[in-house]
Amino acid sequence: MASYDLIDKYLATLRAQLRWRGETEDLDSELRDHLYTAAEEQEANGLGRHDAQRAVLDRFGEPMTVSSAFASSGTKGLAVPTRSTKSSGQLAFIAALAWIMVPFGFAGSYAVERSVGEWDGPVIGLFLLGQMSLMAAASLTVVTFIGLFQRHGGLGPVGRTGIGIAALGAAAGLIGWFIYGWGTLIGVGALLIAGAMLRRGLAPRVATVMIGTAGLWAAAVGGTLWLFEAGPRDQYGDYPLVGLTSVGVGCTLLAVGLVGIGRWLWNEEPVENLIPGSATVG
């Protein structure tokens, strides 16, 4: 195949500006074939090699314009890594740690209460640990969801609805024992956001699925245990062990999923000079 130095330099510049895309090599190969073929046609029409390349590249567009087009999402937003999305990745790690602390606090409180038979200092302390961890985890998860919304250039009405529902769940988390309230809201919100993300195909699939299905798995485990009346019944007619196990499953899946999402967002370098007149998006 003939050598086209101008096209090769153009593609090298474009690759650098599209480094955040997972399919850069496939895209580079496709564009190379297209531009080479177009240049060959120009040469066949009588243009010299340099002029043929120049004509093709002028018609194709500047690298900045082309990279912006590839970055545009269906919602007309820029689906690129920014400083704010990178920060969201860091917050996702903290949220994951907080989610792990939630079942430890609540389960520890329940275990100590059954052991001592009264609601005393250690019981209250462990419950507050679970409560504070829940509030921190839920709030940081919503912030991470907003970062994912930005990273995808928007996630449409489904994504916006998911963030809104998850935010309501975070607010409901102020009442720690209201598991079926905040758990359902956060689970539904995460499911909607994950579904919208999977359609875009940018985020790590396994981590996204874990976040989206955390609520479903928690409900399935809790429902199964409830049918078998697992554990002792309290004075309110509930099965604490069922709720605690369900919370443990959901929180663990959310935590692992957030670690995967956090690693992805944190490892991406913010895209620079994608928009004329802007140093770094975000």
* Residue 278 reports pLDDT greater than 50: no
Q: Which one is predicted more confidently, 167 or 180?
A: 167
pLDDT at 168: 95
Distance CA 218, CA 75 (A): 32
Which residue, 88, 194, 186, is CA-closest to 146?
88
Q: Which one is predicted more confidently, 272 or 103?
A: 103
The DSSP 8-state label assigned to residue 266 in this structure reads: H
**pLDDT tens across 115-171, in order?**
777 777 888 899 899 999 999 999 999 999 999 998 888 888 999 999 999 999 999
Are 215 and 67 in contact, with CB atoms under 8 Å apart?
no
Q: Spell 173-211 as b/e; 16+ CB within 10 A means b.
A: beebeebeebbbbbbbbbbbbbbbbeebebbbeebbbbb
pLDDT at 28: 66
**pLDDT tens across 191-245, in order?**
999 999 998 888 899 999 999 999 999 999 999 998 887 777 766 667 778 889 9
**pLDDT tens across 37-47, in order?**
888 888 888 88
Residue 230 tokens read as 């697992």
pLDDT band at 27 (very low <50, low <70, confident <90, very high): low
pLDDT at 235: 63
Q: Could you tell me how many helices (H) and strands (E) the chain has, helices first?
A: 10, 0
Please, which residues have CB within 8 angstroms of residue 1's CB and are 6 or more apart in sequence? 36
Does the predicted TM-score (pTM) go above 0.75?
A: no
Cβ burial, residue 15 (10 Å; 0-12/13-18/19+) = middle
* Residue 277 reports pLDDT greater than 50: no
Average pLDDT, the chain: 82
One-letter amino acid identity for 210? M
pLDDT at 196: 93
Q: Would you kindly state where each structural domain of the chain is located, as residue ranges?
A: 5-71, 83-267
Residue 144 tokens read as 């991470």
* Residue 83 reports pLDDT greater than 90: no
pLDDT at 273: 45
Are 96 and 259 in contact, with CB atoms under 8 Å apart?
yes
